[in-house]
Chain A
Amino acid sequence: MSVPVLSAHDIGKSYGRGSARFDALRGVSVDIRAGESVAIVGKSGSGKSTLMHLLALLDNPDSGVLLVDGTDAKKLSRSEVNRLRNQDFGFVFQQFFLTANASVLDNVMLPLKIAGVGARERKARGMAALEQLELADKAKSKAMNLSGGQKQRAVIARALVNDPKVIFADEPTGNLDTATGAVVEDILFSLNKDKGITLIVVTHDPELAARCDRQIFIRDGLEDTTIGPAGAHA
């Protein structure tokens, strides 16, 4: 079998010190293989977001080992981590994190701008991503004037613009109504199926979790293996 894209061995993370110390994650092991879709499921406060942050290299684990394409993440230089997050990862957030006053296109082009791509290519690739998500007509609109569904599609376009290997989606449908949520889900899963982009979804929505190839249940900072896939419908 090929080397997992991301592989966590017994990783732990705690916040605060002394009596205020809070163990968000107490030793979780996960292997994520290229092309699969994985749901990280748990209640709020379970540590599922922390796990995603660690997998996405947004934070460093206090204990355990994290391998990216077989390389220990600790051995990666800061600029390599930045490059990885910029080019190999795409992020979709529940709260969108769009710059309200900037145009949709500017928002989508942000990762390319950070990568140092020239203005012309930036625009072409940004427009291509928007067309893919049927938002090309909104390119010049300000981000704040979009509807919720349009905002999340813009966010997905931004995540896609760098042709990432992995998309991390943190409650992607959390702020959307059922109908728009379903549309966004369809987009994410079609990217997974058609383009082979690895999809890591953090959610407490059982239905969304069930659509993924595999579910990882997190409870109180530990993986809960007792629930099983059937538990998703509990």
Chain B
Amino acid sequence: MKAIDIVKEAVSNSFRSKLRTSLTVVAIFIGAFTLTITSAIGTGVSSYIDTQLSSIGAADVFTVSKAGDAATAAGDGPAAYDPKNATAVSSGQGSRPGTTIQALAKDDLAAIAATEGILKVDPSVRVSPDYIEYDGHGKFQVNVNPSATPTTADLAAGSQLRQTGDAGQVLLPTSYLTSLGFADAEAAVGRSVTLAITDYTGTQQEVQAIVAGVQNETILGSGVTFNQPLIDQMHAIEVTGRPASVTEGYATAIARFDAKASPEQISAIKADLKDQGYTAQTVADQIGAFQTVVNGIIGVLNAFAVIALIAAGFGIINTLLMSVQERTREIGLMKAMGMSGSRVYALFSTEAVFIGFLGSAIGALVAIGLGTLISNILADTVLSGLPGLQVMQFAPSSIAIIIAVVMGIAFLAGTLPARRAARQNPIDALRYE
């Protein structure tokens, strides 16, 4: 029998018992539909994160912190006192609330700077302004964007921050505009806002800054971003009046390396810093950590879909076993007429694969249709605060993989009935009543 005839025959056989086939197809449909949706969410969220962060300019920086031997694991009890490690600071964004890490002191910064491959080290200074005000429209609390690394923001209007020079600049998130009294994003660009900051003695001082741009809300935290001159300026106010005996500690430092460094070189620097007791993370590492979490969630969802598909696989086994039983005589006849066992096997496997294809293709198509609709509706309503986020994105490659995987599962499910059919003895089959 020719391959094309086997396929045609298998397809027409699968439609012989329409109800039975369609029930099996529904079972596969559910699994394939779920799998398509979850993988689309994975693609959508990842690509959103990528677009949020892909434009990050500073690929040549590490965020360095002290490796946390003192950041004791829960249940270990307090660590022994060591004067050198005395200063603990809140590790800030991304850490468990209340956890602290060892602060970096001046000699730590010197040690990092001395590490081979590190060009320059700057402590990352956090400033906490008391309020922000524009043109007498009222004072508002300031949520400072905790992003420690200099990033290129996703702008709604205006331009990126200039990190050099003397001019203090801010980037406002879109959510601040109305409260501060701006009509829209364009109206805010170039305006001067007032920031108040309290010095060490408790006196509040004001600084002026220019709105360089307006930033779209991101899922990585929203807030006001300052440029380096403004941070320096505010930090200078914060430390005014501080007793000389107070040593300064930093949670993290920004270490620059050669932008042309190869991944091996970057790893070497990281290893070197690790040996000295520092943890260095590139921006890619930080994004990677975030994506690991997202991928983990998607992975769990996918696992459920695969369980549904395995259940559907048993449906295929059942359907085909019934089909083999019903067609015992026909199989016997074909074998009597010289059809080889392997062709009979191919015939039933193809039928299984076809049922798998039918279920997965319909599942994927419906998922694409429904998913696109839902995703568009969500983007316009619930998620309108996160511009650019399409919750579900259907990548042709992942849909092709899903269909292929389902067909693979169907093939595996079909092997048992197909083997039974292939092994049938023509005589017994023909005698079967």
Question: Whole-angstrom distance between the alpha carbons of A3 and B339 in the complex?
Answer: 28
User: Contact at A97–B339, with CB atoms within 8 Å?
Assistant: no
Q: Digitize A97-114: 1 where CB-to-B-CB distance is under 8 Å, 0 elsewhere.
A: 101010000000011011
User: Contact at B430–A86, with CB atoms within 8 Å?
Assistant: no
Question: Whole-angstrom distance between the alpha carbons of A53 and B9 in the complex?
Answer: 27
Given A97-B430, A99-B330, are A87 and B336 also a contact pair (CB < 8 Å)? no
User: Contact at A97–B334, with CB atoms within 8 Å?
Assistant: no
Question: Whole-angstrom distance between the alpha carbons of A116 and B4 in the complex?
Answer: 10
Given A97-B329, A116-B1, A116-B2, are A110 and B427 also a contact pair (CB < 8 Å)? no
Given A97-B329, A99-B330, A101-B16, are A86 and B337 also a contact pair (CB < 8 Å)? yes
Question: Which residues does chain B contribute within 8 Å of A83, judged by CB atoms?
Answer: 338
B356 within 8 Å of A by Cβ?
Answer: no
A17 within 8 Å of B by Cβ?
Answer: no
User: Contact at B5–A113, with CB atoms within 8 Å?
Assistant: yes
Smallest Cβ-Cβ distance to A56: which chain B residue: B336
Give chain B's interface secondary structure class: helix
A180 within 8 Å of B by Cβ?
Answer: no
Question: Whole-angstrom distance between the alpha carbons of A87 and B339 in the complex?
Answer: 11
Number of interface residues of B (CB under 8 A): 20
B129 within 8 Å of A by Cβ?
Answer: no
Given A101-B16, A113-B1, are A91 and B330 also a contact pair (CB < 8 Å)? no
Number of interface residues of A (CB under 8 A): 25
A187 within 8 Å of B by Cβ?
Answer: no
User: Contact at A58–B426, with CB atoms within 8 Å?
Assistant: yes
Most chain B beta carbons < 10 A, residue from A78, A101, A111: A111
| Chain B positions 374-433 with a Cβ under 8 Å from a chain A Cβ | 425-427, 430
B310 within 8 Å of A by Cβ?
Answer: no
Q: How far is the CB of B324 from chain A (nearest CB, A)?
A: 15
Most chain A beta carbons < 10 A, residue from B336, B426, B427: B336
B340 within 8 Å of A by Cβ?
Answer: yes
Given A97-B329, A101-B16, are A59 and B427 also a contact pair (CB < 8 Å)? yes
User: Contact at B427–A111, with CB atoms within 8 Å?
Assistant: no
A46 within 8 Å of B by Cβ?
Answer: no
| Chain A positions 107-132 with a Cβ under 8 Å from a chain B Cβ | 110-111, 113-116, 118
Smallest Cβ-Cβ distance to A83: which chain B residue: B338
Question: Which residues does chain A contribute within 8 Å of B425, judged by CB atoms?
Answer: 59
| Chain B positions 274-333 with a Cβ under 8 Å from a chain A Cβ | 329-330, 332-333
A219 within 8 Å of B by Cβ?
Answer: no
- CB < 8 Å neighbour of A82 from B2, B330, B332, B338: B338
Most chain B beta carbons < 10 A, residue from A101, A113, A118: A113
User: Contact at A78–B1, with CB atoms within 8 Å?
Assistant: no
User: Contact at B338–A85, with CB atoms within 8 Å?
Assistant: yes
Question: Whole-angstrom distance between the alpha carbons of A93 and B330 in the complex?
Answer: 13
A79 within 8 Å of B by Cβ?
Answer: yes
Question: Whole-angstrom distance between the alpha carbons of A124 and B399 in the complex?
Answer: 43
User: Contact at A82–B427, with CB atoms within 8 Å?
Assistant: no
A84 within 8 Å of B by Cβ?
Answer: yes
Q: Digitize A177-210: 1 where CB-to-B-CB distance is under 8 Å, 0 elsewhere.
A: 0000000000000000000000000000000000
* Residues in chain B within 8 A of chain A (CB atoms): 1-2, 5, 9, 16, 329-330, 332-334, 336-340, 343, 425-427, 430
* 8 interchain pairs, CB-CB under 8 A: A79-B340, A82-B340, A83-B338, A85-B338, A91-B336, A110-B337, A114-B1, A114-B338
Those 4 A-B pairs whose CB atoms lie nearest each other, nearest first: A86-B338, A82-B338, A85-B338, A114-B339
* Residues in chain A within 8 A of chain B (CB atoms): 53, 56, 58-59, 78-79, 81-87, 91, 93, 97, 99, 101, 110-111, 113-116, 118
